[in-house]
Structure 1
Amino acid sequence: MSSTARLSPWRVTLAVIIVLATAVAGVLGVRMYEARAAQEPASHWFAGYVDVTATPSYAFEEGSVDAEGHVSDVVLSFIVADEAGSCTPSWGTYYGLEEAGAELDLDRRIQRLREQGAGVVVSFGGAMNQELATVCESPEELAEAYLAVIERYDLDTIDLDIEGPALEDPESNALRAEAVALLQKKLAAAGKPLAVWLTLPVIPSGLTADGRDVVIGMLDSGADLAGVNLMTMNYGQARDSRSMFDASAASLHATHRQLGIMYEQAGIPLSSASLWGKLGATPMVGQNDVVDEVFTVDDAQRFNEFAVENGVGRMSMWSLNRDATCGPNYPDTSRVSDACSGVDQGELRFAEVLSQSYTGHAAEAASATTTPDPAAAAPAEDDPETSPYPIWTEEASYLEGTKIVWHRNVYEAKWWTRGELPDNPVLEAWDTPWELIGPVLPGETPLPVFTVEKGTYPAWKGSTSYDKGDRVLAEGTPYEAKWWTEGDSPDASQGDPDSSPWVPLTAEDVTEDAAEDSEDSEDSEDAEDAE
């Protein structure tokens, strides 16, 4: 996500006239969303990004109202180092904080939005320009730069968008983590807790190694992360043949698993629901920077339903500036525009679709602290009577596609495996042969063992030798020999299918046998009739 364009003087003048003509009297009044937060329980929130310096200007101060009259928060972006590359915050290098107040009337516009019951989050970083941590010389200096922005706009939540060169810089990542920990400690002592979100690139297999290092560094520093917001966009070759929705859903599932491991390793085990609440998602609506990636309104609808169902804590989008169908004077919609989506949206807005059921505000969760979940620390005990599949054992071998239960979760083998823990805390999905399918559901019982009537096949006998393809019955279950065998019990194939000479038959196999027997019988009868 990036910010590149500067507003022209005549547009700034026009914006000032409009705001002055319509602004409600009084400045720096009571922040109405705080009163609302005190009356309602905290809930998940939506806030679209606004590129503050893009042309034409987006009037975020007018508010985005849904059918229920709810006004959503906004994420204003991006604060970076100034044009000289010093540790001085600026809006996209174009405006200092004072300049933005004078030339963009930014302070007044923020206050106007707040008077409608919505809140403002400020994002630091982005894809362009110099991220502050890459130029500040100490954690203390960086913390002061953050604080200048926080105090200027009276913020309780900030967003750190780490991508590009900043993401790959271990030194600046360490400095940033220490600065955030210092800042949170200072503000907490003053009774002004600060929520900090990390916004990071993602692919369907989860966070990249650099992204994970940023999260781990924050946790190691003692910083309390409100959550990790994923840029579900621009996947490139990692998307493979997936739709944009499927790639985005896979990204969240994978990061949910990674985040659980990182918090556990930091000594803060969290429940699955808590981890979903610490995840955010930011799709790039319409045409993405990758030409063949287009996030449609239908993708947005499905993604919203997925996020609501799983309890994703935050939903965003890049960007509100682009939430409109391109006009006829913009013929090449495969080229990304700052002012339109590149897809035919009809009468719909992406913000309306993505914000469904996200009626909370960032401020409502700003004072929350992350605490260990005792229930998450202790693995759940497995009960064969309430498990739909066999419980994993270290001695057994499992073929590709085999499903097992471990710690009340169902896993499926991605390839042959033996002795490898299904919930081994690996951060890369390809480091484990197991794929998590989901939890054991209430009321589940073992799947019934497939059996057939006595006499369908000969009963297995230990003293009999069998050739490849022979079929037998053992305790009512049908088996087929994979090679010559004598004395090997078919029951052993359940625990060691790889080395067992027997493979259990399915209902389809038996049905095919019955059909063949029927055809043979008919052929025999026809032959007798012919004689």
Structure 2
Amino acid sequence: MNKFKINKITKMMFVVSAFMGLTMPAHADNYYDVEVYDETFADYKPNWAEGGKTHQVIFNGKIWTEAWDAAAGLCPGTEATAAIAGEVWVALRDATASELEGVTDVCSQSNGGNSGGGSEGGDLNNPYDLAEFSASGEYAVGDLVIHPDTGPFEAVEAIKPFTYAPGIAPWKEYQETPTWESVQQSHIDTGFQKGEMVLHDNIIWRAANWVEASVTPAEGTTWEATELSPTPQFSVYDSSVRYLEYSYVTLNGKSYYSQSEVENVSPLNAELKPWKHHLYWEEADTKNVVGTPKQDWPAQVYAPYVDATAQFLPPLAGTLHDVGVNYFTLAFVVADTRSSLGGCIAAWGDYSDYDLARGPGDLYPTIKQIRDNGGDVMLSFGGASGTPLAAVCTVDELSSLLDETVNNLNLKIIDFDIEGGAIADHVGGNGGNTGGGNTGGATAGLPSWVYSLDLTQAALWSDATDHYDSQDFVYTVENGEKVYYAANYWTAAAPADNFMLTPFTAGLPWIKIPAEMYPNEASRSSIAADEESEMQGVERRNAALVKLQAKWSGEGKNIKTAFTLPVLPSGLTSDGYYVINDAVTRGVKLDLVNLMTMDYGGEEVCPHSENKPLDGIQAQCGIDAVTNVHSQLSEIYQSAGVDKSDAAIWAMLGTTPMIGVNDVEPEVFYKNDGKVTAEFFKEKGLGFISNWSVARDVPGEAGQVSPNHSGLAQGDGDDQLQDYDFARIFSEIFK
């Protein structure tokens, strides 16, 4: 699902801006003169899109410029500052001594808007005055410390000096870093994901957030310099040596570097985790701040998505409540950026300041208001960007973290939005730990019926066959690998004789199916990984849920679990199928499978709906997707020996369209699409309906893709919108 911090929309807006010749300011002529930040000034706005100037302000020892509109009192440095990630302020450089002369920072509303989690008094990075970790210290079970790089931790084992620092693996396997120049072109379309490293000007740089490929690594950009050596000198590991941070050793044919000062810990034992990230549940009194839901999560519900880390929250407990919306899906919780050092640390939107115990801005008091109104919230883990927790946490860590979160936020249901690289992060998959976007895009040029083929049922092509009919599909074995083909029309010819090396071109009998559509050989088989050492993110998440659900059952708790997945009109992708199949086979109790009925790809997959507000095109593509997933779920549960009726499977299905103009711009979800979808919901008895997102359920500039409006002009016409029209349409289902 999209996410404002670095979502598909935001990325595309910057790509479009670059295409149109719009760039972020880079020269002195683009800026006003340096001035002292004024918290009462309400007109800090970026004018670079119109070719104008942006401000340069002094605050907290740095020179800042606005990347988005900055409300009065929203002071620089109260949020992450990577401009490309959609934040309000970006740091240009350190202020000089002469610039700082006589300057006094004034910021009485540092948590203005929805800009940061709150705590009363104390250092923002150590609000409850924990003892600072010392590498030379010895710690007993239960000791609490804070580390400047990774935050607060609790010792879960006795820890000796110079062994394990909190949240930091003492050793990390060394891999040669590619030069920025050598990989820039391969990242033109995708950019560099947070955490990726490159070598430039003899410095190893780490992407502090998503970075456009055109941005050269340098100080003052979204790249940050590391202390890693570009030309390391390795020595053989010696257990008697105390190694300083960034020491380089070899052991058993592998190379490693130290991430902290360490002795008596072999690189082979670097994965041990005697520290547990400490969340300020008790200190922040979280359970009372968020309140308690007055009833269980409904069997059927409308719960639109809310970007919880956006600058300002929509009026969830006010206007939306008056419209009839009482349930919301809060997005997204992912791994904190500090987890890259080896810890299991969660945060809202991967902001270190937005920890789970305190939340961003006014979110947690707002949750209490929603619950006082008789509603509730579902918390969603994952999303299109950031690193999923399952990619950095062990099974035990993830199970414990989820349990803590459910208990302290008084949750009745949790959701896992699994897409981008995360959906393919499984045994036999080709995914990674970073977000991407909806993986339900199509390959251009293929007939739409190709996408509905179940290639796992393909038979080996045989020249003994008399003929093949249109839409028959087969595979051949070429160079030891399966290659799949579909017959575009009746043919007696072998695919090997006249197949295409590129996607379908009219006039030839066989279509060579692109490799990205091939089924995972393990996707419909039994679990491929039983030992945690063999698991990837998908398997770890499912194993953690099995363990946690058994615990909840023993405690008499009925906490619901939802998966949100990308989809095509033909159903789940092969990776999506694997996610559900692995979960069901392991014994995860799934209460909801929510489908992202959006961003399908080319017109051959879902016809373009732009300027066709009454045709119900987007609604029909979503209906086809949900209907086909119903069949896939029936197959999965039947194969697992689980008896589920058709009605029970309909009841566990949900649909979440992207209202208004989609990321794939010819796809537009109009009000009539909402009405058709609502009727389908009632007809089939679905369990869940949502939309991305509440903030987009308002009119805006027609045709524009934005995280803050629908891209539909204001008005009552079929192709127009008034505030929260979609909320009214979907809420009507339950009246």
Q: After TM superposition, is the score higher than 0.5?
A: yes
Map of 2:510 onto structure 1 = none
In structure 2, stretches of 5+ residues that fail to align are 6-85, 90-106, 119-286, 427-535, 609-616, 713-719
Structural mapping, 1:244-283, within 5 Å: 244-283=618-657
CA distance in 2, matches of 1:7, 1:115: 32
Confirm or deny: 8 A CA contact 1:2 1:126 kept in the other structure: yes
Confirm or deny: 8 A CA contact 1:48 1:74 kept in the other structure: yes
Q: What do the CA deviations read for 1:340-380 (whole angstroms, capped 9, x no partner)?
A: 01112136521111232236xxxxxxxxxxxxxxxxxxxxx
Map of 1:94 onto structure 2 = 351
Change (3 A) 1:144 1:296: same
CA distance in 2, matches of 1:59, 1:342: 20
> 2:569 aligned to 191, 204, 209, which one?
204
Q: Does 1:241 align with 2:607?
A: yes
Q: Counterpart amino acid of 1:74?
A: F
Map of 2:400 onto structure 1 = 144
Change (3 A) 1:354 1:318: same
Q: How many residues were matched structurally?
A: 339
Q: What do the CA deviations read for 1:113-157 (whole angstroms, capped 9, x no partner)?
A: 100000110000000010111111x21111122223222311120
Q: Does 1:84 align with 2:338?
A: yes
Deviation at 1:11, TM superposition (A): 8.3
* 3-state SS in 2 of match to 1:142: helix
Q: Does 1:231 align with 2:596?
A: yes
TM-score (norm 2): 0.44
Q: What do the CA deviations read for 1:465-520 (whole angstroms, capped 9, x no partner)?
A: xxxxxxxxxxxxxxxxxxxxxxxxxxxxxxxxxxxxxxxxxxxxxxxxxxxxxxxx
CA distance in 1, matches of 2:619, 2:554: 43
CA distance in 1, matches of 2:605, 2:577: 20
Structural mapping, 1:188-203, within 5 Å: 188-203=553-568
Q: What do the CA deviations read for 1:208-256 (whole angstroms, capped 9, x no partner)?
A: 1100100011111111000210000001125343711111111011111
> 1:325 aligned to 680, 699, 711, which one?
699
Larger radius of gyration: 1
Map of 1:336 onto structure 2 = 705
**Stretch deviating more after TM superposition (106-115 or 57-66):** 57-66
* 3-state SS in 2 of match to 1:236: coil
> 1:350 aligned to 726, 730, 734, which one?
726
Q: What do the CA deviations read for 1:286-341 (whole angstroms, capped 9, x no partner)?
A: 01110101001111111111111111110011000111001xxxx4x434211101
Confirm or deny: 8 A CA contact 2:302 2:690 kept in the other structure: yes
Deviation at 1:100, TM superposition (A): 7.0
Map of 2:548 onto structure 1 = 183
Change (3 A) 1:95 1:338: farther
Confirm or deny: 8 A CA contact 1:27 1:108 kept in the other structure: no
Paired-residue identity, %? 33
TM-score (norm 1): 0.60
Change (3 A) 1:196 1:6: farther
CA distance in 2, matches of 1:175, 1:32: 30
CA distance in 1, matches of 2:390, 2:642: 26
Q: What do the CA deviations read for 1:268-299 (whole angstroms, capped 9, x no partner)?
A: 12111111001000000001110101001111
CA distance in 2, matches of 1:124, 1:350: 24
Q: Counterpart amino acid of 2:564?
A: T
CA distance in 1, matches of 2:711, 2:409: 33
Q: What do the CA deviations read for 1:180-219 (whole angstroms, capped 9, x no partner)?
A: 1111111221222221100000001000110010001111
Q: Counterpart amino acid of 1:150?
A: V
* 3-state SS in 1 of match to 2:424: coil
Deviation at 1:75, TM superposition (A): 0.5
CA distance in 2, matches of 1:133, 1:98: 17
Structural mapping, 1:57-456, within 5 Å: 57-62=313-318, 64-65=320-321, 70-85=324-339, 86-96=343-353, 98=355, 101=358, 104-136=361-393, 138-170=394-426, 171-237=536-602, 239-241=605-607, 243-326=617-700, 331=701, 333-343=702-712, 344-346=720-722, 349-358=725-734
Deviation at 1:77, TM superposition (A): 0.5
Change (3 A) 1:49 1:14: closer
* 3-state SS in 1 of match to 2:592: strand
Deviation at 1:62, TM superposition (A): 2.8
**Stretch deviating more after TM superposition (42-51 or 109-118):** 42-51
Q: Counterpart amino acid of 2:710?
A: S
Change (3 A) 1:103 1:224: closer
Change (3 A) 1:350 1:342: same
Confirm or deny: 8 A CA contact 1:81 1:130 kept in the other structure: yes
Q: What do the CA deviations read for 1:30-70 (whole angstroms, capped 9, x no partner)?
A: 73532xx59xxx54111000001123432323362366xx4
CA distance in 2, matches of 1:276, 1:62: 32
Confirm or deny: 8 A CA contact 1:43 1:358 kept in the other structure: no
* 3-state SS in 2 of match to 1:203: coil
What root-mean-square deviation, in Å, do the aligned CA atoms of Structure 1 and Structure 2 show?
A: 2.7
CA distance in 2, matches of 1:303, 1:103: 33
Confirm or deny: 8 A CA contact 1:6 1:53 kept in the other structure: no
4+ runs deviating over 4 angstroms: 5-11, 26-30, 95-100
Change (3 A) 1:240 1:358: same
Confirm or deny: 8 A CA contact 1:6 1:94 kept in the other structure: no
CA distance in 1, matches of 2:312, 2:114: 11
Change (3 A) 1:30 1:129: closer
Q: Bigger relative contact order, structure 1 or 2, given CA contacts below 8 A and separation 6+?
A: 1
CA distance in 2, matches of 1:126, 1:52: 12
* 3-state SS in 1 of match to 2:733: coil
Confirm or deny: 8 A CA contact 2:293 2:410 kept in the other structure: no
CA distance in 1, matches of 2:373, 2:652: 27
The answer to which structure has the higher helix fraction is 1
CA distance in 2, matches of 1:99, 1:280: 26
